[in-house]
A and B are shown apart, each in its own frame.
Chain A
Amino acid sequence: MAKKSYYAPTIERKVAGAPGKFATSVPSYQDNIDEIPIKALIENYGSPLFVFSEKSIRWKFKEAQRAFSLHYPNVKFGWSYKTNYLQAICATFHQEGAWAEVVSGMEYERARLLGIPGKKIIFNGPSKTKNDLLKAVSEEATINIDHLDELFLLEEISVELGKKPRVGVRVNMDTGIYPQWSRFGFNYENREAYRAVQRIVTGNKLELIGLHTHIGTFILEPNAYYIAAAKLLNLAGYIETDFGITLQFIDLGGGIASNNTLCEQYLPGDIASPNIEQYAEAIGKAFNESPFCRKNQPTLFLESGRALIDEAGYLVSSVIGKKTLVDGQKALILDAGVNILYTSNWYKHKFTPAQPITGTIENTVIYGPLCMNIDVMRHGIRFPDLKIGDAVIISPVGAYNVTQWMQFITYRPNVVLITVNGDVEIIREKETLKDILHKEKLPKHLNLS
């Protein structure tokens, strides 16, 4: 007689009224990404594995482009390199028409290497070096000035190169949200930004072409963008009347929320986060109300990072162990930890089993493979009992992980892209010991062999 299929015994006490409407949602499973079976992905590329969907990236970009141009046609996206600067990802955004938004010499070099001309690079950030700026100015990149010392340095470079840098002024402001990002740029309310403009005009060594702000990240309140846009457009109006300079662009930075769920959030992100149309409507409203805008139609730049890439990225991981904790909770140990999933510090990611569920659903803690107490991927989620070797899909993970991950204890895994044609391409190879030792040097007297 054939034996019956087995799954681990479980027992759970019923707690009246404890789990909320959403907390009880029974997890389903997902055994493929863009129709490529997870099993095949793991067999061919190993586990853990980052997987990006080219189809999702392109779809999301078009969706954002459509949403914003519906309200204000003169819109342009600058792909935020720090959010994900793998070449294949950047190239996809560039093919869709995005410029590059960079915040360091390294990112600038990356954009140039991909063939993006300086004229299509927006250079932000508080730490541009003189060498970075010399290159950016000579290649006519747009440089958004963060502080006065940078302004002075740019004036120096202007004289040195005999070429006027094309600059914007980064502005920080109160948009009614907390925390207010006030450390970057010049303040709006205390007129520091106006004075920076005045200084640029009197210096007459820089070509002022726009205003920039980045009000924060994962902003769940679209109205904050309305306020930000209205304030920048108001300032642009003053610049025109007071100095006779008509600005070419208003850059509202990034910060639009993805569908992730913040650690402190109760509702899941796909319900709590506003959709891109709501942000577009808020910004469009400010633009269409502004007299400066009606007259001059400046370019609206957006540097959305996480909202454009987060949902296109998945982390596939496998169960390497299970245990019951002293408090009776179930624990799963995965082969992917906080070393490669930096965003688990901010988000409660979605964990989806990659095969049909047999075991009972229980409260489960999900750990990574590191020998550190902090290596917790998710606290107490309702999760089915999985077997060793079973796979889990963690999502959305497309933003900030393959840039902020650490090489710690073990190697960083393969990253693959599922192309629009359904091919799977490695876009970053798994590291080897050779890669890691490549930059190390062992002084002669410490050589043991």
Chain B
Amino acid sequence: MGTNDNFKRLAMSENGFLFDPQTGHSYTVNEISMEILSCLKRGMDESGIIKHIMDNYDVTEDQIKRDYNSFIVKLKQYSLYEETDKELAKKFKK
């Protein structure tokens, strides 16, 4: 479980501004993204995060699952997130 180090170094402001001190890149995110990012930082896994969002927001499981996956694709594209071996292994087993 857990996220990689790239991710943990991100500085997050409350109004949706993200700064990566290592690369100097900055990002804007919206409220839902902030929720997901802070869950990730806390080391929550996909199913936990999805449940958390569904508990707090008016969204179907289908919708959040789809959006969550798209969001992770984007994080990976910005090299902000890598799945840990454990997560990959879990995915692979399914």
A interface, CB within 8 angstroms of B: 3-14, 322-324, 327-328, 330, 359-360
Contact = CB atoms under 8 A, between A and B. Distances in A.
A6 B28 contact: no
Contacts of B59: 6
Nearest to B34: A9
A360 B70 contact: no
Pairs of residues from A and B, 9 with the lowest C-beta to C-beta distance, nearest first = A328-B77, A9-B33, A6-B59, A6-B57, A324-B70, A9-B32, A3-B58, A8-B67, A9-B71
A12 B33 CA distance: 11
Given A323-B70, A324-B70, A360-B28, A11 B75 contact: yes
A323 B36 CA distance: 19
A435 to B, nearest CB: 37
Contacts of A11: 18, 27-29, 33, 71, 74-75, 78, 80
Interface string B59-82: 100011011101101110110100
B75 A8 contact: no
Interface in B27-60: 27-30, 32-33, 35-36, 53, 55-59
Given A3-B56, A11-B80, 14 more contacts: A5-B57, A6-B57, A11-B18, A11-B75, A12-B27, A12-B28, A13-B25, A13-B27, A14-B26, A322-B66, A323-B70, A324-B70, A330-B70, A359-B30
A3 B73 contact: no
Contacts of A360: 28-30
Contact of A9 (B25, B30, B56): B30
A3 B30 contact: no
Contacts of A359: 30
A4 to B, nearest CB: 5
Contact of A327 (B64, B66, B67, B77): B77
Interface of B: 18, 25-30, 32-33, 35-36, 53, 55-59, 63-64, 66-68, 70-71, 73-75, 77-78, 80
Given A323-B70, A324-B70, A324-B73, A6 B58 contact: yes
A346 B78 CA distance: 33
26 contacts: A4-B56, A4-B57, A5-B58, A6-B32, A6-B53, A6-B64, A7-B32, A9-B32, A9-B36, A9-B68, A10-B29, A10-B30, A10-B74, A11-B75, A11-B80, A13-B25, A13-B26, A13-B78, A14-B27, A322-B66, A324-B70, A324-B74, A328-B73, A328-B74, A328-B77, A360-B28
A323 B63 CA distance: 12
Contacts of A5: 57-58
A322 B68 CA distance: 13
A9 B29 contact: yes
Q: Is the interface of B mostly helix, strand, loop or mixed?
A: helix
A5 B57 CA distance: 6
Contacts of A330: 70
B30 A7 contact: yes
Contacts of B58: 3-6
A8 B72 CA distance: 12
B72 to A, nearest CB: 9
Contacts of B53: 6
A390 B29 CA distance: 22
Contacts of A4: 56-58
B13 to A, nearest CB: 13
A372 to B, nearest CB: 24
A323 B73 CA distance: 11
B87 to A, nearest CB: 19
A110 to B, nearest CB: 48
B32 A8 contact: yes
Contacts of B32: 6-9
A13 B30 CA distance: 12
Contacts of A324: 70, 73-74
Nearest to A361: B28
A328 B76 CA distance: 9
Nearest to B55: A3
Nearest to A328: B77
A339 to B, nearest CB: 27
Contacts of B68: 9
A320 to B, nearest CB: 14
Contacts of A13: 25-27, 78
B59 to A, nearest CB: 4
A265 B28 CA distance: 29
Nearest to B25: A13
Contacts of B73: 324, 328
A7 B36 CA distance: 13
A4 B25 CA distance: 30
B22 to A, nearest CB: 14
A322 to B, nearest CB: 8
